[in-house]
Amino acid sequence: MRICIDSNQFIFGIGGTDSASEKLMLLLPILEVVLPRLIIKEVSRNLTQLQKKAFFKLLNKISQLKIIDDPVPIELVAKYVDLGLREKADAFIGAFVEWQGAKYLISDNRHFISELSDIKFQVLSPEEFIYKNYHII
């Protein structure tokens, strides 16, 4: 199952400020994860040097990690803008997740997409994702 993870979940998990995000970090080596380069950059900007080392060490442990540098198709971004999302942030992430065929976007920022009915993925918090797929918390 392919997933995409919002930058905040990495920041919370590596920073130790959210237990569900920390548990998600422990599961990453067994998951198929797809990320836009933008998320890698955003996470890096928000971590200390020591946390950055932990972040990149974690990424190296994910055997099924794809970091995508290719541009998201503009027509998909336009689809999410037309649905009412902001082009530079939420529409881009929604379009990226659909484009990459991810089943889940793991994010606490569910408000931005919760009212949309025509999307091809689910938005789950780390806690919901872990419980739904592994029946643990």
Is 84 within the bounds of a domain? no
User: Is residue 15 domain-resident?
Assistant: yes
- Could you tell me the pLDDT band of residue 76, with boundaries at 50, 70 and 90? very high
Domains in the chain, number = 1
Spatial CB neighbours of 52, under 8 Å, sequence gap ≥ 6: 44
Residue 103: pLDDT above 70?
yes
Kindly state whether residue 82 falls inside one of the protein's structural domains.
no
CATH number at residue 126: 3.40.50.1010
Identify whether 88 is part of a domain: no
Lowest mean pLDDT among 42-51, 66-75, 82-91, 123-132: 82-91
Residue 39 lies in a domain: yes
Alpha-carbon separation of residue 1 from 119, 120, 129 (angstroms): 17, 14, 12
pLDDT at position 109 over 90: no
Q: What is the mean pLDDT of residues 64-75?
A: 97
**Digit-coded pLDDT (tens) for 8-26:** 999 999 999 999 999 999 9
For position 74, what pLDDT does the model report? 96
Query: What is the pTM (predicted TM-score) of this model?
Result: 0.92
Q: The domain containing residue 28 runs over which residues?
A: 2-69+103-134
Average pLDDT over every residue of 61-65: 97
pLDDT, the chain, mean: 92
Predicted local confidence at residue 113, as pLDDT: 65
Query: Would residue 97 count as lying in a domain?
Result: no
